[in-house]
Amino acid sequence: MPWPRLVDSYRLRPAALFAGVVVALASAPSARQTTPKYDVVIAGGHVIDPRSGIDGVRDVAIAGGVIAAVAPRVDPAGARTIDASGLYVTPGLVDIHTHVYAGTGERRSYAGDNSVYPDGFTFRAGVTTIADAGSSGWRNFEDFHDRVIGRARTRVFAFLNIVGHGMRGGTFEQDVADMDVQPAVEMTRRHRDAIVGIKTAHFQGPAWTPVEHAVEAGTLAGVPVMVDYGKDHTERPIEDLLLRKLRPGDIYTHLYSGLRRELLEGRANPALAEARARGVIFDVGHGAGSFRWRIAVPIVKGGFLPDSISTDLHTASMNAGMKDMLNVMSKFLALGVPLTEVVARSTWNPAKEIRQEAIGHLSVGAPADVAVLRVERGRFGFLDMDGARLAGSQRLVCELTVRAGAVVYDLNGLAGTDWK
């Protein structure tokens, strides 16, 4: 239709028609102010993502709480940009041996005063995911879930203790009659979103009952078992545990304690390598009494590294030689382990061990859990459980932690804006 007839047909003057066209164009999507593609871009950091094999400078973009892009250059286009130049960017750290069943008021108990609330001690060390290692059993797990797991911003999983009362110390943990398989299996099935394994710990007797019941429960529930082997006994040697009792995928923690003949004649017990060959996993579990330099140095120098680095976080360990996850990781740097290997054993490896493969990496679509770390260089001293010191020249410090896309810890205000 010719222009004049179009105007006439709508009984509009040309000027009015032009104004209407302008309004229509202004409201069109191409003319509107667009929403930024990303919420946050962590720019210019050295990304170490063991799952993807990335080890170099990249930008990491986050949108809607998940990783949206990892590339040499990401256009921030209005997103909040965090300059990570000179820093390392890794997946949020995963610590699979902690004790966080706090708040019950029970004295001298890991289902009480020995435990710590997770959020106060995770984010400042770059940790975004933890597993509580057996503080609760089937009798008190739901209280633990309500009291801690369901309230924490930290992602909290749990190994359920084969002891129904959990890690309450004293006679509780020695009560073979309370190591009941079926209730543990039922509780694990009921809380498959939170319970990732079965734990046995601290047993002082010569019987195999705790291990056998834990493995039976783990088999029925389809989850791994973590073993803190307790007192060494000739009736149940570590060789039998590793080579006959544990299944592939089960976890031996406290690898460098030396309390159970992990070191023989100055070298790693040959059963360690044999067990690894059949799929048993070895975890650090530093704690207040489970890491000695005189054990760790020869075993690591001999080439036997842990599969996963963990803290055994509790009120005693955090104020002794352990301190926090980054301090334990720094100890392995001091032992000559490359940073990429240390990160792998603190992110992707432990995520696989607890069968949570959606986390522990920076793949597109993964939860945006990120640690931004600084490697400080200088003269540092690292203590073991006996107060023995090993000198080191590198120490890891957390600059910034992101959990599900939100900044939850920021040491030097990298994500802040300058005050004027």
Same domain, 159 and 299: yes
In this predicted structure, the answer to whether residue 161 has a pLDDT above a threshold of 70 is yes
Same domain, 151 and 235: yes
In this predicted structure, the answer to whether residue 2 has a pLDDT above a threshold of 60 is no
In a domain, 178, yes or no: yes
* Residue 106, amino acid: E
In this predicted structure, the answer to whether residue 383 has a pLDDT above a threshold of 50 is yes
205-232: per-residue pLDDT in tens?
A: 999 999 999 999 999 999 999 999 988 9
Same domain, 61 and 184: no
* Residue 391, amino acid: A
Kindly report the CATH number assigned to the domain that includes residue 213.
3.20.20.140
In this predicted structure, the answer to whether residue 9 has a pLDDT above a threshold of 60 is no
What does the mean pLDDT of the chain come to? 93
| pLDDT score at 33 | 56
Burial 275-306 (b: 16+ CB within 10 A, else e): beeeebbbbbbbbbbbbbbebbbbbbeeebbb
CA-CA distance, 23 to 18, in Å (whole number)? 9
Same domain, 397 and 263: no
In a domain, 6, yes or no: no
172-200: per-residue pLDDT in tens?
A: 999 999 999 999 999 999 999 999 999 99
Q: How far is CA 136 from the centre of its chain?
A: 19
92, 321, 377 from 381: Cα distances, Å: 25, 10, 12
| pLDDT score at 344 | 98
In this predicted structure, the answer to whether residue 138 has a pLDDT above a threshold of 80 is yes
Same domain, 355 and 385: no
In a domain, 34, yes or no: no
In this predicted structure, the answer to whether residue 14 has a pLDDT above a threshold of 70 is no
CA-CA distance, 42 to 45, in Å (whole number)? 7
In a domain, 22, yes or no: no
Per-residue pLDDT, averaged over 49-57, amounts to: 98
CA-CA distance, 268 to 261, in Å (whole number)? 9
Q: How confident is the model at residue 34 (pLDDT cuts 50, 70, 90)?
A: confident
Same domain, 342 and 377: no
Same domain, 162 and 308: yes
* Residue 359, amino acid: I
Torsion angle of the four alpha carbons 82, 88, 89, 90, in this order, in degrees rounded to the nearest 10: -160
Q: Which of 170-174, 298-302, 345-349 has the lowest mean pLDDT?
A: 170-174
Report how many domains make up the chain: 2
Per-residue pLDDT, averaged over 355-379, amounts to: 98
In this predicted structure, the answer to whether residue 83 has a pLDDT above a threshold of 60 is yes
In a domain, 19, yes or no: no
Within 8 A by CB and 6+ apart from 274, the residues are 242, 243
Q: How confident is the model at residue 3 (pLDDT cuts 50, 70, 90)?
A: very low
Per-residue pLDDT, averaged over 237-255, amounts to: 98
Per-residue pLDDT, averaged over 63-88, amounts to: 97
In this predicted structure, the answer to whether residue 20 has a pLDDT above a threshold of 50 is no
Q: Which domain does 258 fall in, by range? A: 92-362
CA-CA distance, 228 to 207, in Å (whole number)? 15
Same domain, 102 and 65: no
Same domain, 342 and 398: no
Kindly report the CATH number assigned to the domain that includes residue 76.
2.30.40.10
Q: What are phi and psi of 401, to 5 degrees?
A: -130, 135
Same domain, 99 and 176: yes
Domain boundary among 362, 380, 398: 362
CA-CA distance, 335 to 89, in Å (whole number)? 22
In a domain, 132, yes or no: yes
Same domain, 153 and 48: no
**Residue with token string 């973009």:** 61
Q: How confident is the model at residue 31 (pLDDT cuts 50, 70, 90)?
A: very low
Same domain, 86 and 108: no
DSSP 37: S
In a domain, 66, yes or no: yes
Per-residue pLDDT, averaged over 322-329, amounts to: 98
The region, left, alpha or beta by phi > 0 then psi within -120 to 50, assigned to residue 7 is alpha
In a domain, 310, yes or no: yes
